[in-house]
Structure 1
Amino acid sequence: MAQAGVISTAWADEPWTLDGAAVRVSLMCWGRDRAPMPMLDGLAVPAIHADLTAGIANLTTARRLLENAGVAFMGDTKGGAFDVPGELARQWLLLPTNPNGRPNADVLRPWANGMDVTRRPSDTWIIDFGWTMTEAEAAYYVAPYAHVAQHVRLVRATNKREAYARAWWRHVEARQGMNKALTGLHRFIVTPRVAKHRLFAWMRSPALPDCQLIAIARDDDTTFGILHSRFHELWALRLGTALEDRPRYTPSTTFETFPFPKGLTPNRPATADTANPHSQAIATAAQALVVARDRWLNPPELILHVPEVTAGYQDRMVPKNSAATALMRGRTLTALYNQRGKPEGAWLDALHAALDTAVASAYGLAGNLTDDEVVVQLLAFNHSHTVTAVEN
């Protein structure tokens, strides 16, 4: 007899048409009908977990780990047309200092969303007055303030949240915690919240990640390598927001539950890596991956490195000519990772295999585990961490 409160039959992801709109739905049944085993998507399984999976590992039992807290953040939510084309931003950067004696560089930052990572960079900048600047202080930055006053103020005045309407010159969610965590880092890791492939990339400070990116406040190659390994990818695919065909990456359920190898957790000081052979091996493999990947994305034969019009920003990479522009249009991270498992992607597969081997060694695991075996081991590692974050 199936017990009340226990899922007896479920369909995890089914196509549905509602009022002419194609949607995806999940269906669950509870009851006391006689059945030898629960049924998931038409197959008999030992049990159905709360996330509508039936694997050996019940990942709904994964705990948030304290050593991962305060490292991964959703990016900035602007709440208005604060973003401007790079050409306009550069005009403002070249203007004389403002009546307060300060340059517009104080409030202008390169900006990126998920498509800037998965596709080609859009050369978009953003006006950012921070989360403490008063309107009177913002007004001293004449050109950026005038732009926001024209394009944002009237829209924000109608916002139902009084704080958003009142402080219209500020972003609605400036992510103070993220900005503080990124302070002092010359680069940090980003990954799209939702994407076809679980990709990680470097972003250079003072660039501002949009809310469609998750920012990870680490600048070391070891953390980058662990995150881009098969181990973290499998974990992220299973721990992403449930019931989506493209799982959503979240700081809480995905990053903070992931058990990093002992001694390589995100709360470690960067200086500790020099004495850890596993860290060095992972870092070397990650560097090789990034170097080769970046060269495919931006071949030196096709691009020019152009210094920004003022100091403090990363050089721009621009095509050398119209032919280069056409060729580079198809060189995106998504296009590159679509080649995995194909002859043209053999070099990328080999680099990821080397990275996976280094990460497996850091865990003390064999390199030939199946996907299910990897997830089972990671869940066991998660449970073995005795210090966990307070659940909320």
Structure 2
Amino acid sequence: MRYICEQGGTIYNAQKRMKWPGLAAVVVSVIHVFKGKYENRKLLDGREVNLISAFLFHAGGNENPKVLLANAGKSFIGSYVLGMGFTFDDSNPDVTSIAEMHQLIEQNHKNAERIFPYIGGEEVNSSPTHTHHRYVINFGEMSEAEARQYPDLIKIVEEKVKPARLAQNREIRARYWWRFGETTPALGKAIAPLERVLVTARVSQRSSFTFLSGDMVFSEQLVVFANESYSFLCIMQSYIHEIWARFFSSTFGDGLRYAPSDCFETFPFPEHWETNPILETISKEYYEYRAALMVRNNQGLTDTYNRFHDPDERHPDILQLRSLHAQMDRAVLDAYGWRDISTDCTFLLDYEDEEDDENTSKRQKKKPWRYRWPEEIHDEVLARLLELNQQRAEAEILSGKAANKSKRKENTNKGRKSRRATDESASIPGL
């Protein structure tokens, strides 16, 4: 659609979501295009508009959002360990137990220097306190000689990791068998001054962010943000960021697959958000209330937000969480100066389920409800964010800040391609 719009075509009528009239259980978009200048009125979902963009919005332009330098170096994929032999885990009989880990530390306290808590998306989303249950040996970017200064630990890695690494097609992983498959020195450097970091699971049905201590190893199933402020959490947890992330991310089954390059690096934050006391205050209240609620109910983020989005859930605790979320959204919208946009939500289906066939057994499957903004508000906010992204990108170019950004992006993409190859073979924990 972008090519058509930029090559003299005009979308003059579009219906964004229409249930297919045939037997297939799908929803389609119906688009009418005119080649050349179109003088008559344009209709988007039956409403007259001045423009219909390639995204099927009434504003915001046809261009993909640009990567913003202001967001550079703040979001990271966790470490791809590539070898469960690095870990201490009582739930996996094929690796070293945590009791053995404690024995190694008692025998030689130096071993504790290279053993770290290890956490992934499943623990973050399922544990009410985001508690890890694994530890991992981490030699960072040490040379083999440096790693051998920890003989107890290098012995474990040599026995449980090295054989598989030597069989790897990628020579560099075989050569540096005592290191993680993908090291993350930039992540370590970025979060070193921080007491805590914000994280989200890369794959999850519900968009949720939480703080974790920075002194642990984060798995590749987490996205880590080098920021510890409540103001930052307020924006990231808001519907404003969620609709951006859902629109530009890929999916994994029914879940959102959060990609920092698409969801975060392009996202235009409101001006002066770092010093906005309202964002800080309401986000702190929301976060502390949610944390206490999860502990009280012994439910993690996934279960809590399943209740949050359930149209049959009327418990006062969940009603209060929805109310606080609306206050958070209001504060973020006001920070953008968009006081004309309502925060009223309703329960809407993400998609229509196919009807159960009479010859198949009935399955008790919950419908994909979400408590969210109506489509008109959703599209209005996305259109404004797209426009703001273009303005910010142009301002960076004019100020000279975008110099060499293309080269940096090219180098980053090369690294991402190599990570993507490994990610496709990595198992995704159920969240």
1:319-334 → structure 2 map (5 Å cutoff): 328=298, 331-334=299-302
* 1:295 equivalent in alignment to 2:292: yes
- 2:308 aligns to what SS in structure 1? coil
- TM-score normalised by the chain length of structure 2: 0.67
Q: Which runs of 4+ in 1 moved over 6 A?
A: 2-8, 26-29, 45-48
* 1:180 equivalent in alignment to 2:201: no
Q: Does the CA contact (< 8 Å) of 1:76 and 1:210 recur in 2?
A: yes
Identity %: 28
Q: Residue type of the partner of 2:314?
A: P
Cα 1:126–1:241 shift into 2, 3 Å? same
* 1:246 equivalent in alignment to 2:246: no
Distance 2:305 2:202 in 1: 17
Corresponding residue of 1:359: 332
Question: Which of 352, 373, 391 matches 1:384?
Answer: 391
Distance 1:216 1:293 in 2: 20
Q: Could you tell me how far 1:240 is from its partner in structure 2?
A: 1.0
* 1:203 equivalent in alignment to 2:212: yes
- TM-score normalised by the chain length of structure 1: 0.73
Distance 1:255 1:107 in 2: 31
Corresponding residue of 2:88: 84
1:93-104 → structure 2 map (5 Å cutoff): 93=102, 95=104, 103-104=110-111
Cα 1:138–1:89 shift into 2, 3 Å? farther
Deviates more, 1:110-119 or 1:335-344: 335-344
Distance 2:174 2:104 in 1: 30
Q: Residue type of the partner of 2:74?
A: V
Cα 1:160–1:349 shift into 2, 3 Å? same
Q: Could you tell me how far 1:346 is from its partner in structure 2?
A: 0.7
Q: Does the CA contact (< 8 Å) of 1:79 and 1:171 recur in 2?
A: yes
Corresponding residue of 1:223: 232
Distance 2:160 2:148 in 1: 15
Cα 1:151–1:262 shift into 2, 3 Å? same
Q: Does the CA contact (< 8 Å) of 1:119 and 1:333 recur in 2?
A: yes
Distance 1:67 1:383 in 2: 13
Corresponding residue of 2:303: 335
Deviations 1:62-92 (A, max 9, x none): 1111110000011110111122227944653
Cα 1:368–1:93 shift into 2, 3 Å? same
Distance 1:7 1:177 in 2: 45
Q: Residue type of the partner of 1:69?
A: A
Question: Which of 303, 315, 322 matches 1:349?
Answer: 322
- 1:346 aligns to what SS in structure 2? helix
* 1:264 equivalent in alignment to 2:273: yes
Question: Which of 103, 113, 126 matches 1:119?
Answer: 126
Question: Which of 153, 167, 173 matches 1:158?
Answer: 167
Deviations 1:189-222 (A, max 9, x none): 1111121011101110211111111100011111
- 1:202 aligns to what SS in structure 2? strand
Deviations 1:211-239 (A, max 9, x none): 11110001111111111111111111112
Cα 1:242–1:84 shift into 2, 3 Å? closer
- 1:387 aligns to what SS in structure 2? helix
Distance 2:123 2:166 in 1: 30
Distance 2:139 2:119 in 1: 17
Where do 5+ consecutive residues of structure 1 fail to align? 14-23, 266-272, 274-278, 300-326
Distance 1:164 1:80 in 2: 11
* 1:375 equivalent in alignment to 2:382: yes
